[in-house]
Each structure stands twice: as structure tokens, then as C-alpha cells.
Amino acid sequence: MIYLFFYILWSYIIFKKNRKGSFLRSLPRDIKKLNLGSSHGVFSFDHTGKNEFNGAQDSQTFYYDLKVLKKIYSNIQEGATVLLPVSYFSFSSNELWSSRDLIKYLKTFSLGDFKGKIKLEYIFYNFFPLFYSLKKKLNKKKIRVKKTREQRIEGHVKLFRDKKYLKHNESLLSEIIYLLQKKDCKIFLITTPFYREYNNFFSKDELLVFFTYLNNFATKHNATYLNYSDNKYIANNRDLFNDFDHLNLEGRKKFLEILSGDFKAKL
């Protein structure tokens, strides 16, 4: 009996610790400026002000952009400015890029936010954390093979050309925009800056089709599309990037200066 007591106590402590790891814990009560998105949103925006929030996470898909939006919706002010990063691979996922990405959402959402087998993941993670930890250690899929830079980008190119989930993601992005429009938000779809070598992996003709598609999509949904993927003040300067597609702090500062000027012209 005493072992059961200590197990329950230890599980509760881990549960509380896990919940403290939620990226929504720093959520402002009244959000005037917000971005969602994947790691391109994480590294490109600095929404740390009193009424600002960076809701991006590494590998975050439109599916979880929508989940995050619904979770924080009541905190978003009428007329807020919302930035929705759209990368070359954004329309190519279903729900998750990898099961490894799930853990940050198990910390953040409730059981009812999940479906199917992920409900079991949630229950094990939050209520049987010792078993969850053991299960992960026994799972051979946990072993990651570190990819070279070229392999990672070639993976992006493959995803860029994959249209399997295009309609699915169009629907998700449309719902995100619809919810924001109900609050009269100013909505910007943004492709963040990439180093020129990253863009060179992609066909210029294919990129032109992609940018035209996004511009038409934004216009159809009464939003604005801004493309900074090859911005001449950033894309040619390797010193502004952590790697080929993620800005460093200096790069982010430069990008936000440019973005601020463009916002003044648009708003």
C-alpha cells in the first residue's frame, strides 16, 4: 500500500511539472499581436511584449496552429494583428511531422483536444508518467539519425512537391483565417526570409507557382500575403542566419525592422 501511495505522489509531482512545461503558460490576457507557425515563426518573431504572443513551435503544422488558436482565442483582442507563417512545406503534413513533436502538445492541451490513439498517449503521459517514460525508452523509433543540412533541405523539397494533403491544409488555414476574421483581426500570411542557398534547392518556376498560389489564396480570404523568402537585404547575408532557413538574433532584428516599415504602409 505504501508503494502505491508513493507511486501516486510521484506521478502527481511529474504531472504538475509536465504541465508547467506548457508553452501557453506565459499567455497574455489581452493579445494585440500574435504569430503562429513552425520553427520559422519561432526564430523570426519576437512577440515578448506585454500584449504580444509567439504561438509558434518547432515543426508545428496548420493542424496544431488551429488547436493553439482555439486554445487562446478568448485572449485575442478585437482588431489584433496576426502573422501566419507559411513555409514551402506547410501544405504537406497531416497532423504531425513526427510523433516526437507530440510531447509539447501533451503538456498543453486537454484529453478532449485529442482523438484516437493520441488520447492514450495523453493518458499515459499525464497520469502514468513512469510507464510513459519506460514505453519511450523501449521504443526503438526514439533513436534519431542526424541528417546533414543537404538531406534536411532535400526533404523540404520533396515535401514542397507533395500535394497529398494540400486540400486538407487549405481547409485548416481557411478555418484559422475565418476565426480571426470574426474578431476583425488584421491577417498576414508571411513567408519568412531564407538564405539564398536554401532557395537554390528549389526550382524558380515551382516557387513562382507557390508564391502566386499564396497571393491568390490570401486575396480570396481577404488577407495579405507578404513574401520575404528572397529579401535582398537578408537572403544574401549568411551572417544573419543560424542555418539556411532560420534567422539568428541579428537576422530577426533586421527582418522585424523591414516588416515594421511594411506594416506601416499596409495598415
Q: What are the structural domain ranges in the chain? A: 30-97+149-266
What's the pTM value of the predicted model, to 2 decimals?
A: 0.86
In terms of average pLDDT, the best of 9-13, 98-102, 104-108 is: 104-108
Q: What is the CATH number of domain 30-97+149-266?
A: 3.40.50.1110
Phi first, then psi: give them for residue 28, nearest 5 degrees. -70, 155
Does 18 score more than 90 pLDDT?
no
Cα–Cα distance measured from residue 211 to residue 229, given in angstroms and rounded to the nearest whole number: 10
What's 76's DSSP letter? E
Q: Hey, what amino acid is at 142?
A: K
* pLDDT for the residue 171: 97
Q: Name the average pLDDT for the chain.
A: 86
pLDDT band at 70 (very low <50, low <70, confident <90, very high): very high
Residue 72 has a pLDDT of 95
3-state secondary structure of 36: coil
Q: Looking at residues 139-151, what average pLDDT do you find? A: 63
Most confidently modeled range among 68-77, 128-137, 195-204? 68-77
In this prediction, residues 2-7 reach a mean pLDDT of: 57
Reply yes or no on whether the pLDDT at 95 is more than 90. no
- CB within 8 Å of 58: residues ≥ 6 apart: 38, 39, 42, 101
Task: Give the span between the Cα atoms of 75 and 71, in whole angstroms.
Answer: 9
- Render pLDDT for 187-226 as a digit per residue (tens, 0 to 9): 999 999 999 999 998 999 999 999 999 999 999 999 999 9
171/165 Cα distance (integer angstroms): 10
Q: Using one digit for the tens of pLDDT, what is the confidence trace for 34-62?
A: 999 999 999 999 877 889 999 999 889 99
